[in-house]
Amino acid sequence: MTSPREQIERYLRRLADWRGDELTFMEVCGTHTVSAARSGLHSLLPRSIRLISGPGCPVCVTPVSYVDHALALSKLPEVTIVTFGDLVRVPGSSANGPEKAPPSLAWAKARGADVKVVYSPLDALELARELKDRQVVFLSVGFETTTPVIAAALQQAIDSGIENFSLLTANKTIIQPLLALGTSSEIKIHGFLCPGHVSVVIGSNAYRSLAEIHGIPCAIAGFEPLEMVRAIVALTEQVSQNHPRVDNCYRAAVRPEGNSKALEVMFKLFEPCDSVWRGIGEISDSGLKLRAEYRKYDAAQRFKVELPPVLEPLGCRCGDVLRGVISPSRCGLFGKSCTPDSPKGACMVSSEGSCAAYYQFRQEDGK
């Protein structure tokens, strides 16, 4: 049996045969960003094939106003904020204000706010069970991989009559931003390397309109370098055959119809809404919010707080990075005033952010 390295080399030789125009493919998954950066995949591809990162890191596309909202809630004496780890270091708005230290949730925690990091929303539910006199607010961010998990946890809370549990939601869906980017005049994208685990839930059929109506090649990829290269070969073939379609290169887990049980619980509790993407702006129907009948579990409804005016960090170009318009090193802050130890923008905070991945693995600019 051929080794993975031999297989990768074989695929790379096929890519090297590409004689057409320069191709730009976009991956839209933080895990792809990290896998590609760690393996040096960009430098292995021929010069005529470029792989860029898109808005696939949920923390990176969460607007500053959401962090401000979480910070405001963390000041309420009865509230315990519970979150996935990546979000705690994202600076809120007044980072540009008189305070020198950027106010992140980690900053608030150091000053006495009750902020806890968990692996699963079930851990947040467990905290609500234990801390009966506290209001547990779970920071509900993520794409379709994570939203069903949060919905299932909320369903468990409802079934168990746990009332001191609520969600601050900023959940997002993947198809709408792909459509916005794929049809944008700002940058020409020749195909999408579609996120493997979002696709587990939404299914490969979810991308068909992108490919069949809008003519944008799609290939769903797993997370090993071999699996990503295989998907890049699939995209290149679609371009050369002038036949945009959806190639499912992650068949071990992705079915055409997705995970119907996960979709069912997600859409039972959540419904589509317009949503603001950091650096991109508002995209119609690209978010998920709690349905009216579950609104009492919405922390934004349960607690009324004053929010500061939104201020993006000065000079930060996370938005251009998220749209694939520039590579991270083109930002004036990159590696200077913005580093993983002292991040200004969300793309440097999250380990899955393009800037953090570029910084850690020292990618060359322009590839």
Partner 1 sequence: MCLAIPMRVISVDGNLGRVEASGALLTVALDLVEGVQPGDYLLVHAGFAIARMDADEAQENLDIIKRLTESPEP
Amino acid at 8: I
186 or 224: CB nearest partner 1: 224
- Compute CA distances 301 → 82, 93, 137, 206, 296, whole Å: 17, 22, 12, 32, 7
Residue 252 CB, nearest approach to partner 1 (Å): 3
In the beta sheet, which residues pair with residue 115? Answer: 81
**Structure tokens belonging to residue 203:** 């299914």
What are the E-state strand segments in the chain? Answer: 23-27, 49-53, 79-83, 115-117, 135-142, 165-172, 191-195, 218-221, 246-249, 270-277, 281-290
Q: Using CA of residue 254, residue 246, residue 288, residue 266, what is the dihedral sign?
A: negative
Residue 168 CB, shortest distance to partner 1, in Å, is 16
Nearest residue (CB) to partner 1, 190 versus 230? 230
Q: Looking at beta carbons only, is 149 or 326 nearer to partner 1?
A: 149
Residues that bind partner 1 (CB under 8 A): 3-5, 29-31, 57-59, 84, 86, 119-123, 142-143, 145-146, 148-149, 152, 155-156, 195-198, 200-201, 222, 224-226, 251-253, 259, 261-262, 265, 350, 352
Query: Closest separation between CB of residue 197 and partner 1, Å?
Result: 4
Measured between alpha carbons, how far is 86 from 325 in angstroms, rounded to an integer? 24
Radius of gyration of the chain from Cα atoms?
Answer: 21
* CA separation for the pair 284, 275 (Å, rounded): 7
- Alpha-carbon distance of 178 to 161, in angstroms, equals 39
Extract the tokens encoding 30.
């933080």
Q: In what order do the strands lie in the sheet with 135-142?
A: 115-117, 79-83, 135-142, 165-172, 281-290, 270-277
Q: Whose Cβ is closer to partner 1: residue 261's or residue 296's?
A: 261
Question: Tokens representing 184?
Answer: 């944008």
User: Nearer to partner 1 by C-beta: 58 or 324?
Assistant: 58
For the CB of residue 141, give the shortest distance to partner 1 in the complex, in Å.
8
CB of 21 to partner 1, least distance (A): 30
Give the three-class secondary structure for 178: helix
Give the pairing of strands 246-249 and 218-221.
parallel
Measured from the CB of residue 350, what is the shortest distance to partner 1 in angstroms?
Answer: 8
Q: Which is nearer to partner 1, 244 or 353 (CB)?
A: 353
CB of 75 to partner 1, least distance (A): 26
- Of 135 and 147, the one with the shorter C-beta distance to partner 1 is 147
